[in-house]
Amino acid sequence: MAPSYVLAIDQGTTSTRAILFDKDGQPRAMEQQEFPQYYPQPGWTEHDPLEILRSAIECSEGAMKKVGASKDDIAGIGITNQRETTVAWDKGTGEPLCRAIVWLDLRTSDTAAQLEAKGGKDRFRKKTGLPVSTYFSAVKMKWMLDNVPEVRKAADEGRCCFGTIESWIIYKLTGGPNGGVHVTDVSNASRYMLMNINSCTWDEAVCSELGIPVTALPTIRSNSEVYGKVSSVPSLQGLAISGALGDQHAALLGHGCLDVGTSKNTYGTGCFMLLNTGGDAVPSKHGLLTTIGYQLGPEEKVTYALEGSVACAGRVVQWLRDNLGIISSSKDVETLAGKVEDTGGLTLVPAFSGLFAPHWRDDARAVAVGMTLFTSKEHMCRAALESTAFQAVDIMEAMKQDTGLRLRDMRVDGGMTVNSLLMQMQADILGMSVLRSKLAEATALGAALAAGLSVGFYEKKVVKDIIEKAGGYEVFPSSTTPAARRKMMQRWKDAVERSFDLAK
């Protein structure tokens, strides 16, 4: 019997999901698990690589159980993941050398500042497409080499392997120390700040400037090819791992943004807008990142993208729930924010992990500006939602300036987009329509498509059909005047200025 599914593993910042997609690109079974976050010091965020691996395996088995599927029913596995989060492991034992440093962790701010002091924030931008920031994997690797004796020793002895989350999962599933492959895909590799964005190879000069041994880095492969077969998990034994992409790149593909000028904005822990720029790696002068869109096969051309990354979006809502306790579940934020007409003069800049695009200020910290004794939890909820919308407008403006394109609407997906109040606020502050995708699983679908293409489960020519069948949009039209929008944006810009220089 021919296989009926592709298995997509979506390993995100706060949870792992596994979804089985059928031939029509429809999700047939899903299993999700949250996993522990570790905050050992203020500004630090860590994940346990073994807990992540376990969640990926258990979610895969859980999804298979739901539809009574065995490994024989699966054509291939696609992996999509939180990007930049960095794992170091020992080649000899296959075990992690320390916990993974998560993408929004701020411990590397001194490392980033030292790198910046030597040649400016944009010293690697021409080669890598990225500014110096705590965000990217190379800075985390450097911090590990300088601060974790086990990593330094393993590197000196040629035993250290570095990788992002997909790299770690592929290595472990394909056998770990017993023949596991050490690879990364080109989209994840484009977030290390070590890859030459034009040649898609590790840039030896940048690696040596940061003191990162090229031998510790994974081999860069395309997003759609067989990297290896599972050999360490009986329930998945022999299955081809046939696709991998960073989560935002997978969402670009899963959204069907295959033409130049198409874009998507995903609201998750952070908020990430990617614009397809085709075969050109467009340099940014307005604080965006030049990154890989996707490469659907080793012989295929690379499609590039411009990206605006926002560190805190859904995370702000979690903060209201977990740290302030003013809501008991994330969905309450919409109800409370809807009880007031505006924020009562309050503006929240959620620079909890500094500010990413377009500012790239690791020294920024969150501020709440304009509170009076009138300020209530309802105002705080509304200001939290508004802050996400303001940040997305900053990105959209930078995209227009960098490309000169007339972008007419914003296509959105991700957890926070269930919030209709936020979607309307977004359209109003943006001054253009917001199109909410009906496709809940764009990220996982992107991984399934990449994995299915390389094993012949999907054909390239039907990819657009699959996306169209699965998709469609709900429209939120903008209802504000340009003058009202200018006033709102000025309030936001003033508040952002106040968030700078607050880190010691």
Query: What are the start-end ranges of the E strands in 12-164?
Result: 15-21, 27-34, 46-47, 74-81, 86-90, 100-101, 160-164
Name the segment binding ligand G3P (CB under 6 A); options: 63-71, 91-99, 242-250, 318-326. Answer: 242-250
The tokens of 102 are what? 């998560």
> Which residue, 272 or 390, has its beta carbon nearer to ligand G3P?
272
Please work out, in degrees rounded to the nearest 5, the angle formed at the alpha carbon of residue 427 by the alpha carbons of 251 and 387.
80
- Would you say 303 or 309 has its CB closer to ligand G3P? 309
Interacting residues with ligand G3P between 88 and 117 (CB under 6 A): 103
Task: Indicate the residue among 83 and 221 with the shorter CB distance to ligand G3P.
Answer: 83
CB of 272 to ligand G3P, least distance (A): 6
Q: Kindly state the smallest distance separating residue 13's Cβ from ligand G3P, in Å.
A: 3
User: At its nearest, how many Å lie between ligand G3P and the CB of residue 65?
Assistant: 25
Least distance CB 443 / ligand G3P (angstroms): 7
Region near ligand G3P per CB under 6 A, out of 80-88, 328-336, 403-411, 423-431: 80-88
Q: Which residues of 305-319 are buried (b: 16+ CB within 10 A; e: fewer)?
A: bbbbbbbbbbbbbeb
Contact window for ligand G3P (CB under 6 A) among 173-181, 262-270, 336-344, 453-461? 262-270
Among 18, 21, 47, 84, binds ligand G3P (CB under 6 A): 84
Closest CA to 31 of 3, 2, 52, 10: 10
**One of 185, 247, 413, 441 touching ligand G3P (CB under 6 A):** 247
**Beta strands 74-81; 240-246: pairing state:** parallel
Residue 82 binding ligand G3P, by CB under 6 A: yes
Tokens standing for 479? 């209802």
**Would you say 190 or 248 has its CB closer to ligand G3P?**
248
Residue 400: DSSP 8-state:
H
Q: Which amino acid is at 210?
A: L
Per-residue 3-state assignment (H helix, E strand, C coil) for 221-232 = ECCCCCCEECCC
- Distances 11 to 165, 308, 441, 463 between C-alpha atoms, Å: 8, 21, 13, 23
- What is the nearest approach in angstroms of ligand G3P to the Cβ of residue 198? 22
Q: What are phi and psi of 263, to 5 degrees?
A: -145, 165
248 interacts with ligand G3P by CB under 6 A: yes
User: From the CB of 204, what's the least distance to ligand G3P, in Å?
Assistant: 25
* CA gap 461, 62 in Å, rounded: 31
HEC profile of 174-220: CCCCCCCCCEEEHHHHCCCCCECCCCCCECHHHHHHHCCCHHHCCEE
Q: Which is nearer to ligand G3P, 191 or 361 (CB)?
A: 191
Cβ neighbours of residue 209 closer than 8 Å, sequence gap 6 or more: none
- How far is CA 14 from each of CA 32, 51, 272, 376, rounded to the nearest angstrom? 10, 12, 16, 29
* CA 25 remoteness from chain centre: 22
Segment interacting with ligand G3P, rule: CB under 6 A, options 71-79, 81-89, 162-170, 229-237: 81-89
Segment interacting with ligand G3P, rule: CB under 6 A, options 88-96, 245-253, 292-300, 461-469: 245-253
Is 129 a binding residue for ligand G3P by CB under 6 A? The answer is no
Q: What single DSSP character describes residue 331?
A: T
Which of these ranges, 87-95, 142-150, 193-201, 268-276, lies near ligand G3P under the rule CB under 6 A? Answer: 268-276
Applying CB under 6 A, the span of 79-87, 142-150, 224-232, 416-424 interacting with ligand G3P comes to 79-87
Among 49, 268, 350, 452, binds ligand G3P (CB under 6 A): 268
| Rounded distance between C-alpha atoms, residue 444 and residue 461, angstroms | 19
Least Å distance, CB 454 to ligand G3P, is: 22
Per CB under 6 A, the segment of 230-238, 246-254, 374-382, 398-406 that binds ligand G3P is 246-254
What Rg, from alpha-carbon coordinates, does the chain have? Answer: 22
Choosing from 270, 308, 358, 471, the residue that interacts with ligand G3P (CB under 6 A) is 270
Task: Note whether 182 binds ligand G3P by CB under 6 A.
Answer: no
Binding piece for ligand G3P, criterion CB under 6 A, among 87-95, 205-213, 267-275, 286-294: 267-275
Say whether the peptide bond before residue 213 is cis (omega within 30 degrees of 0): no
Task: Provide the minimum distance between the beta carbon of 150 and ligand G3P in the complex, in angstroms, as a whole number.
Answer: 26
Angle at 271 between CA 184 and CA 433, to 5 degrees: 125
Query: Is residue 131 a contact point for ligand G3P (CB under 6 A)?
Result: no
The residue (of 236 and 389) whose beta carbon lies closer to ligand G3P is 389
106's tokens: 């701020």
Q: Pick from 6, 9, 13, 395 the residue near ligand G3P by CB under 6 A.
A: 13
Identify which of residues 35 and 473 has a Cβ nearer to ligand G3P in the complex. 35
- The 3-state secondary structure of 425-485 reads HHHHHHCCEEEEECCCCHHHHHHHHHHHHHCCCCCHHHHHHHHHHHCCEEEECCCCCHHHH
Which is nearer to ligand G3P, 268 or 471 (by Cβ)?
268
Q: Is the distance from CB of 134 to CB of 105 less than 8 angstroms? A: yes
- Any contact of residue 293 with ligand G3P (CB under 6 A)? no
Whichever of 103 and 458 has its CB closer to ligand G3P, that residue is 103
Residues contacting ligand G3P: total by CB under 6 A: 12
Q: Do 48 and 11 contact (CB within 8 A), yes or no?
A: no
For the CB of residue 247, give the shortest distance to ligand G3P in the complex, in Å: 5
Q: Which two tokens stand for residue 134?
A: 């705590």
The residue ranges that bind ligand G3P (CB under 6 A) are 12-13, 82-84, 103, 246-248, 268-270
